[in-house]
A and B are shown apart, each in its own frame.
Chain A
């Protein structure tokens, strides 16, 4: 498995876990009450910060392990990696745009800031997961 494919897998797994943890934390904080009363900002910032940190650490650790079996390809990337990365970015962009439009719509109707922020967060999360899935499929099935 090449360097960028490992990063794609790491990003995908961490994104899914981060979203799951965030949703559980918000629901637990709400305790059955209205979600808009939840103090969502610290939870969101911690989720974003920890997911970035975990992704970096996991990539480094996986790179060290992979480097023992394939020292030449441990940190290399090439034109195929860049093509797959661009394709993944296009997939991600679509979801970010949808979330952005959702945010504008929520602002227009004067929705609570909880829903506005979390719509954007959901857009980022879905884009990361969808982009990760697209990248992993491209690495496994091919990109033509």
Chain B
């Protein structure tokens, strides 16, 4: 079993709020629909560049879209 990433995201809720299908958003950011599905399901951590592209597609900041839990040291 692949260890899930600690980075979570709210791409799906943003996408649905924007009325976009997975195919439409995938096309807008230049990836395949399967890649977008993998990102939404947290099975693939996007590169920083791709994360910025997704955030820009919604007109939000990267922090609004991706969350990383506070880690106690």
Contacts and interface: CB of A to CB of B under 8 A. Distances in A.
Interface residues of B, number: 22
B50 interface: yes
A141 B43 contact: yes
A68 interface: no
Interface stretch (B13-21, B27-35, B56-64): B27-35
A106 B45 CA distance: 43
Contacts of A81: 32, 35
A144 interface: yes
Contacts of B47: 79
Contact of A141 (B1, B23, B50): B1
A142 interface: yes
A78 B37 CA distance: 13
Contacts of A1: 34
Contacts of B38: 80, 142-143
B3 interface: yes
A141 B2 contact: yes
B31 A143 contact: no
B32 A144 contact: no
B26 to A, nearest CB: 9
Contact of A79 (B5, B23, B34, B35): B35
Residue of B5, B23, B32, B33 ringed by the most chain A CB atoms within 10 A: B32
Contact of B43 (A73, A78, A142): A142
B50 A144 contact: no
Interface of B: 1-5, 23, 27, 30-35, 38, 41-47, 50
9 contacts: A73-B32, A77-B32, A78-B35, A79-B31, A79-B35, A80-B31, A141-B2, A144-B2, A144-B3
Interface of A: 1-2, 5, 72-73, 76-81, 83, 137-138, 141-144
